[in-house]
Amino acid sequence: MEIIKLSLFGIMGVLLAIQFKGIKSEFNFYIGIGVALLIFFYAVNSLTALISELGVLQKYLKGGESYLGTLLKIVGITYICEFSSGICKDAGFSSVAGQIEVLGKLAVMFAGLPILLAVLEQIQGFM
């Protein structure tokens, strides 16, 4: 199964990184980044399959085709912010990670604004 291979690889990378904790701790951090990148690139092909499946879902949405695009955009923004803030936390800079997360929340809100306006217009229509 993919998941078992991935998690074993992650654990192996972490165990290798711990060797450098005492002597040279910055390499501990580099190996962490390397393992995170490799796990992402390993998962990216299953991600593309998932997204093409989502495209099939699009034809059931009569009115809101663009909403699925916005949903994907939000997932992308969240993933990038999660990845970079996680790396900053590993390095011990939790304040920088907090800033990145706040930026991510703002970007998600900005991306979701048109949907919110559409919902409000719908409600306005009922009134």
Partner 1 sequence: MGVGLIFKIAAVGLLVTILNQVLKHSGREEQAFLVSLAGLILVLTWLVPYIYELFTTIQALFSL
Kindly list the residues in this chain that would bind partner 1 in the complex (CB under 8 A): 9, 13, 16, 19-20, 23-24, 26-27, 30-31, 33-35, 37-38, 40-41, 44, 47-48, 51, 69, 72-73, 75-77, 79-80, 83
Q: Which amino acid is at 54?
A: L
* 60: helix, strand or coil: coil
Please tell me the number of Cα atoms within 13 Å of 32 on its side-chain side.
18
Residue 97: how many other CB atoms lie within 10 Å: 20
Min CB(123)–partner 1 separation in Å: 29
Min. distance of Cβ 109 from partner 1 in angstroms? Answer: 15
CB nearer to partner 1: pick between 51 and 109: 51
